[in-house]
């Protein structure tokens, strides 16, 4: 049944991303996913629970994938490249889910909102670790925690703003974006050389690792109910 859940979350995200949370009904979702209302209720009881499932799947998939991938790289710069690759590639393939996830937890039941905030915080902390390690390795003297958090969020800004402007035809591929974000974040646009890291090798290694990243379809439920 897990293929069922994945497909339902994907199609539901697409519809909700277009019509908005309040502009979508359970009936619309049933029609879009070609299920009966009763069939859909097997997966979630309300739009609020759907929102929770989309967020859980996204953040669980990314944190689980990162736990595996992070261990494959040793240098802070390589880890940074890998993080950018994972985040940007995953969301370029799940743009509607991403759109829905940026709405936050406002519409969610309090206990579920808390689960999502915890997942999100863990994921943010992974990024923060990568940035802090890079700054430490570069011998930066001023390890101001607030500044490292600001820089971590600037990195997310570059990555998360992509859907509001990027078209492959006009602006190039997702792979070029990953490289640009990595390079800009590491050494800015003013230096021509970024040869310290072998991007060609890194990119092909990440392509291999990314091939194993599949959306997670089982996770502990906030209310103990299993859904798969």
Stretch that binds a copy of itself, among 4-12, 53-61, 143-151, 201-209 (CB under 8 A): 143-151
Query: What are the tokens at 203?
Result: 């990119």
Query: 72: helix, coil or strand?
Result: coil
DSSP letter for each residue of 74-123 = -SHHHHHHHHHHHHHHHHHHSHHHHHHHTTTTTTS-HHHHHHHHHHHHHH
Q: Assess 127 for contact with a copy of itself (CB under 8 A).
A: no
DSSP 200: H
Query: What are the tokens at 125?
Result: 């902390």
Q: Assess 139 for contact with a copy of itself (CB under 8 A).
A: yes
* Residue 83 and residue 130 in contact, taking contact as beta carbons nearer than 8 Å: yes
Stretch that binds a copy of itself, among 4-12, 92-100, 138-146, 202-210 (CB under 8 A): 138-146
Q: Assess 135 for contact with a copy of itself (CB under 8 A).
A: yes
Q: Assess 98 for contact with a copy of itself (CB under 8 A).
A: no
- Report how many residues bind a copy of itself under the rule CB under 8 A: 46
Stretch that binds a copy of itself, among 49-57, 92-100, 188-196, 215-223 (CB under 8 A): 188-196
Q: Assess 161 for contact with a copy of itself (CB under 8 A).
A: yes
User: Rounded to the nearest whole angstrom, what is the least distance from the CB of residue 24 to a copy of itself in the complex?
Assistant: 12
Positive/negative CA dihedral, 177, 52, 100, 104: negative
Query: What are the tokens at 196?
Result: 């310290």
Residues that bind a copy of itself (CB under 8 A): 20, 22-23, 102, 131, 134-135, 138-142, 146-147, 149-151, 153-154, 156-162, 164-166, 170-172, 176-177, 180-181, 183-192
């Amino acid at each position: 049944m897990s293929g069922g859940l994945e497909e339902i979350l994907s199609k539901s995200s697409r519809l909700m991303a277009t019509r908005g949370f309040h502009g979508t009904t359970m009936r619309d979702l049933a029609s879009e996913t070609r299920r009966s209302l009763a069939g859909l209720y097997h997966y979630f009881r309300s739009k609020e629970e759907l929102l929770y499932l989309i967020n859980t799947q996204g953040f669980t998939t990314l944190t689980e994938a990162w736990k595996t991938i992070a261990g494959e790289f040793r240098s802070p710069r390589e880890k940074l490249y890998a993080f950018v690759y994972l985040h940007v590639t995953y969301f370029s393939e799940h743009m509607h889910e991403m759109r829905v996830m940026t709405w936050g937890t406002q519409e969610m039941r309090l206990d579920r909102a808390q689960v999502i905030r915890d997942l999100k915080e863990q994921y943010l902390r992974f990024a923060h670790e990568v940035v802090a390690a890079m700054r430490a390795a570069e011998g930066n003297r001023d390890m101001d925690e607030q500044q490292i958090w600001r820089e971590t969020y600037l990195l997310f800004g570059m990555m998360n703003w992509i859907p509001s402007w990027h078209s492959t035809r006009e602006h190039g591929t997702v792979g070029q974006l990953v490289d640009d974000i990595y390079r800009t974040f590491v050494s800015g646009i003013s230096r021509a050389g970024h040869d310290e890291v072998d991007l060609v090798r890194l990119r092909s290694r990440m392509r291999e690792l990314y091939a194993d990243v599949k959306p997670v379809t089982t996770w502990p439920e906030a209310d103990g109910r299993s859904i798969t």
